[in-house]
Chains A and B, each alone.
Chain A
Amino acid sequence: MSKRRITPLRALLMAAGLTAGLVIAATWGLAWQRRPEPPAHTDLALDDPALIRQGEYIARTADCIACHTAPGGKPYAGGLAMQTPAGAIYSTNITPDPDTGIGAYDYEAFRNAVKHGIRRDGAALYPAMPYPSYAIMPEADLRALYAYFMKAVAPQRQANAKSTIPWPLNMRWPLIWWQALFAPTRTFQPAPELDANLNRGKYLVEGPGHCGACHTPRGIGFQETALNLQDGDTFLSGALIDGWRAKSLRGEAQGLHSWSQAEIIEFLASGRTNRVAAFGAMADVVSHSTRHMTAEDLGSMAAYLKQLPPAPGKLAAFAPKRDTLTESLLDGTERVRGALLYREHCMSCHRPDGQGVPRIFPALDGNSAIFAHNPQSTIQVTLEGGRMPLDPRADKMAFAMPGFSHLSDQDISEVLSFVRSGWTNQAPAVTPEQVREIRAFLATKAPHIQTGEHQ
C-alpha cells in the first residue's frame, strides 16, 4: 500500500464518485425543467359559494382530511404519523395559514403539489401523498378544490414535523427521479367497454378516491405497480400497509367475491353491513370520505369495483364447506385450545355461530377481513382492538372491540387459527411468529403529532 497506484478499490471509488456527481447534476437538470403542465389561468372566482361547495365535495372524495389531520388535531393542520420501513413521516399543514400552511400557494403551486408532488419550493413530496392518483383530476376540479382550501378551511398555525427517517434515506432529491419514473403526467382514460356510470366509478376509484394507494401492491421503488387496470393486472389486488392487510378489491374469493354490490354501497355509506365493520385505516376512510359521498357516486364506485375480474393466479371462489363448528360449540364438545380461548374471550359477542350481531358485532364467519390469506389485519385488530365508524343516519352508536394484547403470541395465534378455519372459513393458520412481528411493529410505531407539540 506504499505506492500510489490505482488499485481496483480506488478505481471503484472514483467511478462511484463520478456517477454520484452525474446523478446530482442530472437531478438538478431534471428539477430545473420540471414543468408538468402549461401555466394556469389565474382568473379564479375564489369567493363563488358554488365553487367552494364543489371543492368541499371534491376534498371529501379525495379524503384529504384523513391524512392531513392528526387524531384529536385541528382539521387539515397535519401531524398524522405514517409508518414507513425507514421511519415515520408526518402529514403536513394544508390549511391556508401563510407561514406554516399553504396560504402562500398560488393556484399553479397548489396544482403542482396536488397532482405532481412538487412543493412550492420545488422539493419533491413523499409519495405517501397519492399524487400519482390525483394526477388524473381535471382542471375544473382542481380549481374548485383550491377555492375550498383557500376560502373555507380555517387557517391553523402549526409547523410541520420532521420525519423520523434517518439520513441519508431522508434526502428528498432522489424523489425527483422517482417522480420521473413513477408519477407520469397523465389524464383519465375512460374504458370504452364501460358505460358512463362505470367510468365515473373508475375515475373515482383511480383518481380522487386513490384506492390503489393502499389496495395495490407496491414495487421495489415503493411505487404502485399499476395505476389502473389497463396499466397492469396487479391493480387493487391487495397490499400490506402500516401493519394492515388492505384487502384485494378484485372479484376473487378473498377479494370482493363474497360482497354484493348493495353491501359495498352500504359499507362505504355507513362503515358497516350486517356482516362486517370497517376498522383500522378504512374506518377513517369511511368516516371522513365515503360516507359523505352522494348515493350516485357510491353506486358508481361499487358497480365498478364489483365488475373487476379476479387477479391472476388468485382463487376465484372457495369450495363449499359445511359448518359443523356451531353445533359443537353449542353442545360443549369442541375442546381444542383455540376453541376454549374463543369461548372465553370472543364468543359472547361474536356468538357460537360466528355470525356476530348485525351492525353491532361483526361476523367472523364469511367475513373477508377474517379469511384473508394474510392475517396481519386480524392480528393487529386482535392486539390493539378496533373501532367502527359511525354514520348517524344509519346507526345510533359506534361499537369497538377491546384489544387482547395481554394474551400471549401463542394464544393469539391459536385463537385466530381457530377462527380463520372455523365455520365456513378456509384461511391458513396463524403462527406465533406472525403475532410477534405485528406486536413488535406496533411497539415501535411513531406517535402522531398533537397540536402544540410539533417540532
Chain B
Amino acid sequence: MSHHRSLRLCLTGLALALGLSAGALAQSTGAVAPQTYAVKDKNGQLLPAYTIPEDSEMLKHPDAEQILYGQRLLNETQRLLPDRVGAAMNCNSCHVVQGKKPLGAPFINTYNSFPQYNPRSERVMTLEERINGCMIRSMNGKKLPQDSREMQAMVAYMKWLAQDVPHGAQVQIQSSRPIDMSIKPDPVRGRTIYGAQCASCHGANGEGRKDARGNIVFPPLWGDESFNIGAGLARTYKAASFIYDNMPMGVHTKGAWGEGRTLSLQDAVDVAEFFTHMPRPDFPMKDKDWPSGKKPKDARY
C-alpha cells in the first residue's frame, strides 16, 4: 500500500509542479501593455495618460467613414488625389506609421496645437492652412479647399488620433529630434553613404520606386517627382533629423518598422546635405517665406 501512496504523492507533486510552471509561463506570455504617454496641460499639470489607439478603434467612432478616409488620404495621397499632388509623395512618406510613431513626425499632437504660430510665414495658421502648406511644398501640388471633403477627412483623422486630449495640452511624445546645426555637412561623404544605405530603395538616381500599379513604394528624393525646395525636408538639418531616427527602414528586428540608428549624426547630416541639394522643383512662392528675413541657417532661398 505504501508503494501506491508514495506513487500517488509523487504524481501529485509532479502535476503541481507542471501546473505551477505552466501558470508562470502563461503569465510571462500575456499581451504586452499598450504604449502610453503622459499628457500635460498648458500649465504643466498632468492630465490622464494617452494611449496610441489602434486602427480598429476607428470603426467604433460615429464618424468612422470620414476618419478612415482621412487616414487613407494621408497614406495614399498621390493615388487618391492625383489632381492635387504634383510629386510622387504621400503624406506618410514623412509622417510614418500612420502618424503614430514617436520621432517620425507623428500627428498625435497636431489637432491640439492649432491654430499655431508659424515661424516660416511669421503668422498664426489654422490646421487647414498648415496642411495646405504641405500640399504646395512637400507634395509640390495645389491647395485643397478648406471646406472640401478631403481636407475635412484629414483633419478628422488627426482629431481622432488626438483622442480626448484637450486643446492646448500636449502628449509627451517627441515629434522630431533637434540636430546640432554646428555639425558641418560633407556632401561628398554623403554621396557614398547614399549609395550604400539609401540607393537600394530610393534608386541610384534618387528616383524612388513604384509598384506594378504605378503606386509609390519609396518616394523619389530628388528630380521632378520629388518635393520642392520649399519643403521642410529640403533643409539639411530637418532631413538629417528624420533620417537619423527613421532611416533606413527594414534593417532591424526591433522598432515600428525595423528602422534607424544605423547612421551616426554626422552620417545623417552628410547624406541629408547631399540629397537635399540635388536638383528638385522650385517653390514659386518662396519670396513670401521669412518676410522679416530671419531665415534658419539651412534655408534654401
What is A's interface to B at a CB cutoff of 8 Å? 1, 9, 330, 332, 335, 337, 340-341, 343-344, 348-349, 351-353, 355, 357, 360-361, 384-387, 395-403, 405-410, 436, 439-440, 443-444
Neighbouring A residues of B209 by C-beta, 8 Å: 357
- B209 CB to nearest chain A CB (Å): 7
Neighbouring A residues of B2 by C-beta, 8 Å: 1
Which listed residue (A351, A352, A402, A409) contacts B255, Cβ 8 A? A402
Neighbouring A residues of B249 by C-beta, 8 Å: 349
Q: How many angstroms from the CA of A343 to the CA of B54 in the assembled complex? A: 11
Neighbouring A residues of B254 by C-beta, 8 Å: 385, 402-403
Q: Are A355 and B211 in contact, CB atoms less than 8 angstroms apart?
A: yes
Q: Are A353 and B213 in contact, CB atoms less than 8 angstroms apart?
A: yes
Q: Which of B194-226 contact A (CB under 8 A)?
A: 195-197, 199-201, 209, 211-213, 215, 217-218
Neighbouring B residues of A401 by C-beta, 8 Å: 250, 253, 258
Q: Counting CB contacts under 8 A, is B94 at the interface?
A: no
Q: Counting CB contacts under 8 A, is B56 at the interface?
A: yes
Neighbouring B residues of A9 by C-beta, 8 Å: 3
Neighbouring A residues of B55 by C-beta, 8 Å: 340-341, 343-344
With A340-B56, A400-B251, A400-B252 as given contacts, are A353 and B29 in contact (CB-CB < 8 Å)?
A: no
- B162 CB to nearest chain A CB (Å): 18
Q: Counting CB contacts under 8 A, is B138 at the interface?
A: no
Neighbouring B residues of A349 by C-beta, 8 Å: 249-250, 257
Q: Which of B88-138 contact A (CB under 8 A)?
A: 92, 96-98
Q: Are A396 and B199 in contact, CB atoms less than 8 angstroms apart?
A: yes
Size class of the contact patch on chain B: 35 or more
Q: Are A351 and B211 in contact, CB atoms less than 8 angstroms apart?
A: yes
Neighbouring B residues of A355 by C-beta, 8 Å: 211-212
- 11 A-B pairs within 8 Å (CB atoms) are namely A330-B79, A352-B215, A360-B250, A395-B200, A399-B251, A402-B252, A403-B254, A409-B29, A436-B29, A440-B29, A443-B25
Q: How many angstroms from the CA of A341 to the CA of B58 in the assembled complex? A: 12
- B6 CB to nearest chain A CB (Å): 13
Q: How would residues 9 to 33 of chain B score, 1 for a CB under 8 Å from any chain A CB and 0 otherwise?
A: 0000000000000000100110110
Q: Counting CB contacts under 8 A, is B168 at the interface?
A: no
Q: Counting CB contacts under 8 A, is B281 at the interface?
A: no
Q: Are A398 and B69 in contact, CB atoms less than 8 angstroms apart?
A: no
Q: Counting CB contacts under 8 A, is B248 at the interface?
A: yes
Q: Are A353 and B212 in contact, CB atoms less than 8 angstroms apart?
A: yes
Q: Are B251 and A398 in contact, CB atoms less than 8 angstroms apart?
A: yes
Neighbouring B residues of A440 by C-beta, 8 Å: 25, 29
Which listed residue (B199, B218, B253) contacts A387, Cβ 8 A? B253
Q: Are B98 and A402 in contact, CB atoms less than 8 angstroms apart?
A: no
Q: Are B25 and A353 in contact, CB atoms less than 8 angstroms apart?
A: no
Q: Counting CB contacts under 8 A, is B72 at the interface?
A: yes
Neighbouring A residues of B68 by C-beta, 8 Å: 332
Neighbouring B residues of A352 by C-beta, 8 Å: 215
Q: Counting CB contacts under 8 A, is B256 at the interface?
A: yes
Neighbouring B residues of A351 by C-beta, 8 Å: 211, 217
Q: Are A385 and B258 in contact, CB atoms less than 8 angstroms apart?
A: yes
With A357-B209, A402-B257 as given contacts, are A443 and B199 in contact (CB-CB < 8 Å)?
A: no
Neighbouring B residues of A344 by C-beta, 8 Å: 54-55, 98
With A351-B211, A387-B253, A439-B29 as given contacts, are A397 and B197 in contact (CB-CB < 8 Å)?
A: yes
